[in-house]
Structure 1
Amino acid sequence: MGLDGGTIATRSDVLRRQSSRVAQHDTSRSSRGGNAAGKVSDPGAVEASVARQTAWSNCALSSQPLQPPLVADGLGRLYNKEAVIQFILCAKDKVTEPEALLQYANQLRVAAGGLDHITSLRDVFDVTLTPEPGRGASGSGKARGGGSEAAGAGGRGGGGAGSGWVCPVTLVPCERYPCSALRPCGHVLSDRAIKNLRGPAGGGGGEAGGGKRAAAADETCPVCGLAYTSTVPVNGTPEQVAVLRAGLRAAAAAKAAKREHAAAGAAGEEAGRGGSKKRRKGEHGEAA
């Protein structure tokens, strides 16, 4: 059958040709289409893995490879600090270069309101990532407080698979295991390491509630030795990001209410001073 020397097509060969997904993911060396029983990757899982690796390899603002100095926002996304500074300057109309303005417009279009919480450098904090041992380094940065240096061994620039960043305690790859940034020092550790440092009663870091909780006196960063007050999940799950975003909105609303209260108090004091002046003038007029 087929005039190819006696090869007979079976039912499995015919059915296999109807599934392009099986054919594309087939890893066997069969000349008749491969082994239909082979493992087929889930496209959704592959896309999620690629997205997570990209988040740990590239700046969330400029899409360029991560290069120290690095910062993170309240949602746990990683940025090149230079890109954040340029974004803030463009937002304040302090940049006139057409290329920079076009890039700023594209960033706003892609973010679709996801960058509204970044208005100044106070909205981000410095972070330090630890490169995988043995990978080529293209830069270095040091956390506040004299911690260990972090080299820029991004996934695209490091010459290997993965982002190239690991937990400095457990050495597990950051893009494969949940990690959180310690504040205020900014070192990024795996949640497993944070849980082990806190002990059985301490709980895990970077939980769905945003990981923000008061640190005990002995809860110090194992890299630089500084006490940390809270943790922020880095490139966390959608649930964690939703909780963090709600916290940012609540903090912004509280800050706005505080400003309005202060402005109302100042206006009341000014009105009181104006009324007292009028009364004093009236008293002087009656005395005259």
Structure 2
Amino acid sequence: MGCDGGTIPKRHELVKGPKKVEKVDKNAELAAKWKYCALSQEKLKRPIVACDLGRLYNKDSIIEYLLDKSAERPNTEVVAHIRGIKDVKELNLTDNPAWEGERRNIKGDCYEDMNCAMFICPVVGLEMNGKHKFFYLQTCGCVFSERALKEVKTEICHKCGDPFQEDDLVVLNGTKEDVEKLQKTMEERRSKAKTAKKSKKSKDAKVSKKQDAAAESCDVPKNTSEAESTPLDGDGSSQSAPGPSTSGECSKELKAPVGPVAGSKRSIQGMKDKSEIYKSLFTSHSSAKRTKDQISNWVTHTPYHF
């Protein structure tokens, strides 16, 4: 059967087959990971930071996200594991001398090479465009290619000279398997940090309790000191009864009283080597004692004299 005008339809026009799966351009996918921020989807520009999972971000966009997490943003799931600025590391990147950036293609009428990257490996010179595996060090933030780490095996950073271990290496924009491994190591590291903080707090609390107990044992209560104190004798020296003995450092700190009558309970009136005239100078002498009738009351008067 034909349609209007005598046209004959073909089979592919009448029978609908399965839809073809859209293929993603690999170059565009690599450019989106290595040239654009994973959070804001803007072009990467210094300073550039990376998280524990190996994703690249602009530092400004991370700071804006941390300051206001309630704001609506796309791709917030990508940064759900970032709690603070300490969870990201600023990268120490090496510029690519062959990359001209947007200066060459300002008008948009020139060919732009998507494989040309902004940064390279400082040891081998490979471009950081996604075709080669790159790592960054959590200690110093320097970035190297996998080939450089295999060819030049060392435990010191090739760029800044800081020591590092294999656990400090993090893959940049790795595969799903790499991301899963990095997530497990991140969770283990955070759990270890929590346990270390708890143990530190418990140790500090124990030390403070011991110090408080030592301070309380060294302190002498006021009531006992007042009860043990005796009135002044005639020579003006106070006689105090011996207090309770303390042990440890507190006993060392206590000093014996200094003076000629230290530790003696004799009064001046009982001294035989002193004369009566000398003894009569003090209120403890019998001549100074008066009866109630002899004691006079105090009388107040105005200080003015007329």
1:216 aligns with 2:155: yes
C-alpha offsets along residues 226-249 of structure 1, whole Å, 9 cap, x if unaligned? Answer: 356243210111111122122222
Partners of 1:56 and 1:163 within 8 A in 2: no
Choose which of 75, 87, 90 in structure 1 pairs with 2:65.
Answer: 87
Q: Which residue of the partner structure matches residue 126 of structure 2?
A: 171
Partners of 2:91 and 2:143 within 8 A in 1: no
Alignment of 1:119-198 (within 5 A): 119-121=84-86, 123-128=88-93, 130-131=95-96, 133-136=98-101, 160=112, 162=114, 164-165=116-117, 167-168=120-121, 169-172=124-127, 174-182=129-137, 184=139, 186-198=141-153
C-alpha offsets along residues 206-254 of structure 1, whole Å, 9 cap, x if unaligned? Answer: xxxxxxxxx435xx42xx4635624321011111112212222222221
| Separation in 1, partners of 2:113, 2:17 | 29
Q: Which residue of the partner structure matches residue 186 of structure 2?
A: 248
**Structure with the greater alpha carbon radius of gyration:** 2
CA shift for structure 1 position 257? 1.4
Alignment of 1:74-113 (within 5 A): 74-88=52-66, 90=67, 101=68, 105-107=71-73, 110-112=75-77
Q: Which residue of the partner structure matches residue 149 of structure 1?
A: none
Partners of 1:181 and 1:187 within 8 A in 2: yes
Choose which of 36, 44, 47 in structure 2 pairs with 1:66.
Answer: 44
DSSP 3-state at the match of 2:24: helix
Partners of 2:52 and 2:170 within 8 A in 1: yes
Alignment of 1:248-267 (within 5 A): 248-267=186-205
Choose which of 16, 19, 23 in structure 2 pairs with 1:18.
Answer: 16
Q: Which residue of the partner structure matches residue 143 of structure 1?
A: none
DSSP 3-state at the match of 1:253: helix
CA shift for structure 1 position 120? 2.1
- The gaps in structure 1 that reach 5 residues or longer are 23-41, 91-100, 139-152, 199-214
Aligned-residue CA RMSD (Å): 4.1
| Separation in 2, partners of 1:83, 1:46 | 27
CA shift for structure 1 position 161? 5.3
CA shift for structure 1 position 119? 0.7
CA shift for structure 1 position 275? 2.1
CA shift for structure 1 position 163? 6.4
Partners of 1:71 and 1:80 within 8 A in 2: yes
CA shift for structure 1 position 185? 5.0
| Separation in 2, partners of 1:7, 1:160 | 46
2:185 partner amino acid: G
| Separation in 1, partners of 2:160, 2:197 | 37
| Separation in 2, partners of 1:56, 1:46 | 16
Query: TM-score, with normalisation over the residues of structure 2?
Result: 0.55
C-alpha offsets along residues 132-161 of structure 1, whole Å, 9 cap, x if unaligned? Answer: 7254356xxxxxxxxxxxxxx9xx9x9735
| Separation in 2, partners of 1:270, 1:225 | 42
Q: Which has the higher contact order (CA 8 A, sep 6+)?
A: 1
Choose which of 161, 164, 178 in structure 2 pairs with 1:226.
Answer: 161
CA shift for structure 1 position 260? 1.3
Choose which of 218, 222, 245 in structure 2 pairs with 1:280.
Answer: 218
CA shift for structure 1 position 67? 0.9
Partners of 1:180 and 1:188 within 8 A in 2: yes
CA shift for structure 1 position 270? 1.7
1:256 partner amino acid: K
**Between the two proteins, what is the percent identity of the paired residues?**
21
- The gaps in structure 2 that reach 5 residues or longer are 226-242, 245-306
Q: Structure 1 residues 225 and 193 mapped into 2: Cα distance closer, same or farther (>3 Å)?
A: same
Q: Which residue of the partner structure matches residue 279 of structure 2?
A: none
Query: TM-score, with normalisation over the residues of structure 1?
Result: 0.58
